[in-house]
Structure 1
Amino acid sequence: MAVDIGYFSDDSMIRRVMRKRAVGLTYGLRALVIGAVNPLLYVGTAESTEHRDTPYTRLALTGKLFEAVFFGTREEADRALEFTGKKHAQVKGRLPEDAGARHPAGTAYSAYDPHLSFMTMAFTFESAEVMYDLLVRRLSDTEREDLYQDYVRWGELFGMPRTAAPADYRAFRAYFDSYLASDEMFLTDEARKVGNYLCGHVVPYPQRVPGRQVSSAYYLLVQGSLPRRIRKMYGIDWKRSDEIAYRGLAQSVRNAHSVPSLLVPRPVRTALNGPSAPVYRLITKQEQRLAQEGKRSMPGIDPRKWAERNSA
């Protein structure tokens, strides 16, 4: 009887990269922060989610679904894909207001629009690639190509047509860099506020030691990894001292991954490697505790959809 190993082999690049917790715990936030500059993706998601009031719970759920496809058996992955497909069927509509010159009010969006499906994959893949290069080691050209092709396959599983993605990594990089330099990017007021919370530029509640140091380091890595133009769009005043601290922290994490595994104590190996789902559960519990205290995770973000907020 054949063993169900899932859609990706254990030695596939996507598993090798995503099992590194330094990547698994940072790529998602980075992808959301950068992805918010695409107003069709941001508005489409925000207007269709059931978790406007619990954004970190939604982030944790998304991370668990993605990991089911990265690491799970086909049965586990198919359950995650079926669940996601039902949610995606609800993501369709039109921009309720202008979102930059390239996205006037009335522009249609859909989770199954081939280009938007590709952009979702693009932000996710590029963030995983960047965080692995930054925090683990630099990928070789062959590894980078293999990782890209794995992510294209991953995008296909979620409904992206293969033809929507560039044929190879070099073509992808040329397209993506061009996009980041284009006038297509635009942050709605809400997207800017949400992104500032997600990357830790705005911290709503003071934290105690040592949680404050851990979260500050985490947010420093996410902010530092953002393209300069994206940081400027969010109003992040990135100083030379920030860059020095960011580079030093990133190098420390890289150094931890460069030690031969036989010399690393088991608790450290466990912390560095494996699915990030256990941490996602902690994020959800933290948000639940805030709700019990009558606090919002993102103060000032209206939990209602646009039509409800703007009804007479």
Structure 2
Amino acid sequence: MDDGYFPEGRSLLRSVHEERMVGLFYGQRALAIGALDPRNFVGTIQSSNGRLAPFRRLARTAAAFETVFFGTRAEADRMLERVDRLHHRVSGELPSDAGAFPAGTHYSAFDPELMLWTVAVTFDSALWFHELLVRRLSDAERETLWQEYRRFGALFGMPLKAAPADYPAFRAWYDARLAGGEMHLTPEARYTGRAIAFEIPFPRSQVPAKQVHDLVMLGSFPPRVREQYGLRWTRAHAVAFPLAVASLRAARTVAPKRMTRGSSRRSYDVIAAVERNRLLRGVPTPQVPAPGAVAERATAAR
């Protein structure tokens, strides 16, 4: 039988991502943190239609990942081939200086360092929300999850030698990189990352749920990330955050298993549909500005 690359009942990675508390949060956090590498952000935006419909792109990416997480090998291989074709378009140079990276710096979807960065922010976000909203993993489970994520990255073409060999090495590398001087948000990346994290187009009926979502998302960001985005973390946030987490944990405990575990694709489709309908009605949806537009807008305001 074709049980996929991450077989049900035997794969910890699959078990983690089957938790909808993970599936509904990790992608936004991963994209927002991932944008701190200017090469990652510019390469993605310049080679996709994420500029006009960022949430549709988020939904497509999450659905593609779920195909690899949950699908058969045949289904996953078809998706991997499609992504590989798309990645051949992701190659270019930074149009302007971006922190430690000067204009003209080359980027490519096949750069092992950028592949690792994408895997790293995804892994860290999935682990973070699982431990926050479901349960804490043991040291052995963290190691297993990281090894499965290394395999996940390799399926997309990341050389295994590019990734830290074990979880402690990953944690040391990731924390150092997050604190390092190469982390920089361009004005466009700051605008986009905040929109992805906090302006997700929930249906009107779910506005109260969005308030809880936004608080949990804000609390999930490391202090360095909040600093880069100019996000405030007040005493009121610190008091409300554990209450929001407790409410989500309690809701998961009492809800039927069919509501708490499984694919989150239906939710991704809802978000994409809400954005599409807004665009059709001419209602503004957060869009990635053209390069330089945010800086020009700030200059004009002054």
- Normalised by the shorter chain, which TM-score bucket? over 0.9
Q: Give the TM-score normalised by structure 1.
A: 0.89
Instruction: Look up the equivalent residue of 1:132 and give its one-letter code.
Output: H
Q: Verify the 8 A CA contact 2:201 2:271 in the aligned structure 1.
A: no
TM-score of the two chains, using structure 2 as the length reference: 0.92
Q: Secondary structure at the match of 2:107?
A: strand
In the other structure, the counterpart of 2:259 is 271
Q: CA deviation at 1:205?
A: 8.5
Query: Which structure 1 residue ranges, 4+ long, deviate > 6 Å from structure 2?
Result: 204-207
Alignment correspondent of 1:30: 29
User: 1:150 matched to which residue of 2?
Assistant: 148
**Which stretches in structure 2 are left out of the alignment for 5+ residues?**
297-302
**Identity across the alignment (%):** 45
Report the CA distance between 1:206 and its aligned residue. 10
- The alpha-carbon distance between structure 1 residues 275 and 121, as it changes in their structure 2 partners (threshold 3 A), is same
Paired position in structure 1 for 2:76? 77
Is this contact kept in 2: 1:56–1:283, CA < 8 A?
A: yes
Whole-Å separation in 2 of the counterparts to 1:206 and 1:288? 12
* 2:227 pairs with 1:239: no
Where does residue 94 of structure 1 map in the other structure?
A: 93
Q: Using the alignment, how far apart are the partners of 1:78 and 1:114 within structure 2?
A: 20
| Maintained 8 Å contact 1:137/1:254 | no
Aligned match of 1:288: 276
Contact kept, 8 Å, 2:216 with 2:241, in 1: the verdict is yes
Alignment match, 1:227? 222
Any conservation in 2 of the 1:21–1:273 contact (CA below 8 Å)?
Answer: yes
| TM superposition shift of 1:218 | 1.1
Structure 1 residue runs of 5 or longer lacking an equivalent are none
**CA spacing shift, 1:85–1:206, aligned 2, 3 Å:** closer
Matched residues in 2 for 1:291 and 1:62: separation? 20
Amino acid at match of 2:266: P
Distance across 2 between alignment mates of 1:139 and 1:205: 32
Q: Equivalences for 1:184-223 in 2 at 5 Å?
A: 184-200=182-198, 203=199, 208=204, 210-223=205-218
Name the structure 2 match of 1:113.
111
Residue 52 of structure 1: SS of its match in structure 2? coil
Contact 2:202/2:210 (CA < 8 Å) preserved in 1? Answer: no
Report deviation, 1:204.
Answer: 9.3
Structure 2 residue corresponding to 1:298, chosen from 286, 291, 295:
286
Judge conservation of contact 1:47–1:305 (CA < 8 Å) in 2: no
Q: Which amino acid aligns with 1:269?
A: K
Report the CA distance shift for 1:82/1:240 in structure 2 as closer, same or farther (over 3 A): same
Shift of 1:50: 2.5
The structure whose residues are more often helix, as a share, is 2
